[in-house]
Structure 1
Amino acid sequence: MDHKTETTNLIGSDKVSGTEVYNGAGDHLGEISSVMIDKVSGKVAYAVMSFGGFLGIGEQYHPLPWSTLTYDTDKGGYVVNLSREQLEGAPHYEARDTPDWGDRAYERRLHDYYGVNPYWGI
């Protein structure tokens, strides 16, 4: 049975992973590695974007608050209003690390960096 994982307004998480991410100038920044969903509210909290590295070496993961992403149908990917330099200074973690998911102070720093309100509302 074929399960359609994308419609005009909905997309399955399996289709989000691997989607390219660009900045407003059209520069390729990385790709979505995974999405983080709040288990209680069901809201998508973050898109974790892989950035940098070569052949998996030195790759970093940047949790982007979902509200910072806009889907661009022409590009077939997401656009964030960030320069490469801003992204390089953004909160991130290495593949061998685990971020402090659930630590509101950590998550607040993420949202503060990107200048957006937390997904959980305050």
Structure 2
Amino acid sequence: MVKLASGYRASKVVGATVYNENRDKIGTIDDLIVNPKDSTTYVVLSVGGFLGLGTHLVAVPFSSLRIADRQMLLRGGTRDSLKTLPEFKYAAP
């Protein structure tokens, strides 16, 4: 992760592995979504699957992540708990 001013470069966040506090890999950041109404940023996490097959996409607020030791941490997160979240789907253009 490269910190700039008080934020992080999107190009360094997308693709980052997300861990829980036990250092278990629980997903990968697939995308960032900025809500124009309230400027909330969401991360789209890819959970499970292999080589893009069988993955489950979920969106969680970026604020729920913590960055420590150059790693993205989602406290209390597990692959199973993330898979129970509603699947994120992109709106049709």
Give the alignment's TM-score, normalised by structure 2. Answer: 0.79
- Unaligned ranges ≥5, structure 1: 100-122
Q: Deviations over 1:11-63 (max 9, x none)?
A: 1211110111001111001111111112244332x100111111111111111
Greater helix share, structure number: 1
Mapped pair 1:57 → 2:53: yes
Same amino acid, percent of matched pairs? 28
User: What do you get for the CA RMSD once the two structures are aligned?
Assistant: 2.2
Larger Cα Rg: Structure 1 or Structure 2?
Answer: 1
Where 1:91 maps in the other structure, the secondary structure is coil
- Report the counterpart of residue 98 of structure 1 in structure 2: 90
Greater strand share, structure number: 2
Where 1:55 maps in the other structure, the secondary structure is coil
Q: Is residue 67–residue 73 contact of structure 2 (8 Å, CA) maintained in 1?
A: yes
Return the offset for 1:69.
0.8
Matches within 5 A, 1:23-62: 23-44=20-41, 46-62=42-58
Return the offset for 1:88.
2.2
Number of residue-to-residue matches in the alignment:
90
> Which AA in structure 1 matches 2:78?
S
